[in-house]
Amino acid sequence: MRIPAFLAVAALAAAVAAPAAAQDLVGQDLAANAAAVRDKALTDPTAWAIAESLTTEVGPRMTGSPAMDRGRDWAVAKFRELGFENVRVETFTTPTWSRGPESAEVVGPVPHRLHILGLGNSSPTPKGGLTAEIVLFRTYQAMLDQPEGALKGKIAVVTQKMPRTQDGSSYGFVNAQRSRGPLEAAKRGAVGYLTRSLSTDDTRLPHTGGAAAGGIPAAALSTPDAELLEKLVARGKPVTVKLAMQSTSNKASPAYNIVGEIRGRERPDEVLVIGGHLDSWDPGTGAVDDAAGIAISTAAAKLAAGFGRPKRTIRVVMWGSEEQGGSSGAYLAANRAEVPKMVVAGESDGGAGRVWSLSLPTGSRSHPAMKAFEAAIAPLNVVVSREPPRSGGADISGLISAGTPFVDFNQDMSRYFDLHHAADDTLDKIDPAELSQNVAVWAAFLYTVADSDIDFRRLAAEAQTAKETK
C-alpha cells in the first residue's frame, strides 16, 4: 500500500523534529536544575566557611614553608570532610625563596624610613647592608633604555604607576617592572633594585611578588614611599638609600597539588578540572589570593553535585605552587595521560569580586547545555562573551598547552590590586555576597557540563571547519 505523499512528508518532518525536541527537553531540564543550583549557591555558607578556615587555621602559605605543609594537611582533611573521593596529594619539587629581616631607609639628603617588601628570588645584601645612590626612572622603559654599565654601583628605582581597571589588565601592562626589573637592572650594572608596588592603593603597605633572579637585592616600595623618592630626586641633590635584606633560596623544595573528586555515575573517566592555588605570599593571610579561589571552586563542585551524582567526574585541584611556580607543569606531568578525556579546565584566581563576564570554548555557545547555563546565570548580571577565552589561569596553562578546552570567568578586579600580595590581603576584605555570586556561576557551569554530553573539542573542530569553508 502506498503512503499518501502528505503523510510521508509529515512522518519525515516528525523524524527530523524528534532529536531537536529531545535536545530542547534536555536543555530545559538542565536550565531548570542549573537555576536551582544557582539559587542554592547564593545562600549556601560553604565557600565562606572554607575561606575562613584556611586563612584562620593555616594563615599565609609560602611554598617550601612549614605553613604550606599545614596547608597540605588542611586540604586533605577539608576534602574528606566535604565528602570528596579519591583524595590524594601529588608531590613534586620546585625552587623556592623565603624572606628574612628587611629594612630600607634614605640616609641622605634627608633621613626617611622606607616601607619595602623583598621580591621573590631577591639576593640578600652583604652583611651590614648596602648603601648606594639611587637612579630614579618614572617608567620601566626609561630604565631599559639605559646602556650596559650606565647604572654601575647604583640602586635603580622604577616608579611607574599601575592604573585601576575592572578586568585587571593593567597588571599585565606593568608586570615586567617587577618580574623582570631586577634582572634588567643588574644587566646595566645596578647593585640593587626598587620598584613601586604593582598596586592601586595609597597605603604605606608594599606589595611583594615573584621576580627573575638578578643576583642583586630587590624590593617593592609602598606607593607613598615611591612618590617620596620622586620628590627627593626632584630637588636636585643626590639621594642615597641603605638596604638591609636577608633571604634564603632552595633549589628543590617539596610542594603539593592536592586533589579531590566527585566521581561521575556514567562516564567517570571524563573529567572536569577546576581549582585555585593553595599557596600564597607571606605578608597577609592569602585571603583574596587565593583562599577565595579555593573556596569558590570547592564549594561550586560540592553544590553542582547536589542533584545527585553527575554523569561525569568533577575534579577540584588545590595547586600548591602558583606564586613561585611549578604547580602547572607538575600537574600536567602527573596527569598527561588523562588529557584526552579532560572535558574542560578552569581556574578561580582573581579574588572574590563578582564574576561580570566570561568566555566559553569556541563553538559551544549554541549547544543546549551552554544555553541552559547562560539562562541560569542571566539573573546574576554576567556577560557571556562572543569571543573564546584567551587565558584561563597560570595553573591550568599546562593543560591548555596540551589541548584541554578551557573557560575564563572574569571577576571584578577593581579593588583586587589594593590587596594583592600585601599585608591587607585578609579575610575581612572578602564580601560574602560577592563570593556566593562566584560560587553560583561556577556551580551552574559545572552542573550543566558534568550532567550533559557536551564535547568542547568536537564543537571547536566543527566551528573551525565551518570557518574554513566559508
Assign domain 110-238 to its CATH architecture.
3-Layer(bba) Sandwich (3.50)
154/93 Cα distance (integer angstroms): 36
What residues does each domain of the chain span? Answer: 30-95+252-463, 110-238
264/271 Cα distance (integer angstroms): 8
206/196 Cα distance (integer angstroms): 8
| Structure-block grid coordinates of residue 244 | 638591609
Read off φ and ψ for residue 432, nearest 5 degrees: -60, -35
Q: Other C-beta atoms within 10 Å of 101: how many?
A: 10
281/60 Cα distance (integer angstroms): 6
pTM: 0.93
* Angle in degrees, 0-180, between the axes of helices 46-57 and 432-450, rounded to the nearest 10: 120
For 445, the enclosing helix (H) or strand (E) is helix 432-450
For the annotated catalytic residues, the residue numbers are 322
| pLDDT of res. 11 | 43
| Structure-block grid coordinates of residue 146 | 639605559
Going by C-alpha positions, the residue among 80, 73, 58 that lies closest to residue 256 is: 73
| pLDDT of res. 7 | 44
Please count the residues of the chain: 470
| pLDDT of res. 28 | 73
| Structure-block grid coordinates of residue 78 | 577539608
- pLDDT tens for the chain, 470 residues: list them: 444 544 443 444 444 444 444 444 456 788 899 999 999 999 999 999 999 999 999 999 999 999 999 999 999 999 999 999 999 999 999 999 999 999 999 999 999 999 999 999 999 999 999 999 999 999 999 999 999 999 999 999 999 999 999 999 999 999 999 999 999 999 999 999 999 999 999 999 999 999 999 999 999 999 999 999 999 999 999 999 999 999 999 999 999 999 999 999 999 999 999 999 999 999 999 999 999 999 999 999 999 998 889 999 999 999 999 999 999 999 999 999 999 999 999 999 999 999 999 999 999 999 999 999 999 999 999 999 999 999 999 999 999 999 999 999 999 999 999 999 999 999 999 999 999 999 999 999 999 999 999 999 999 999 999 988 87
Looking at CATH, the fold of the domain delimited by 30-95+252-463 is given as Aminopeptidase (3.40.630)
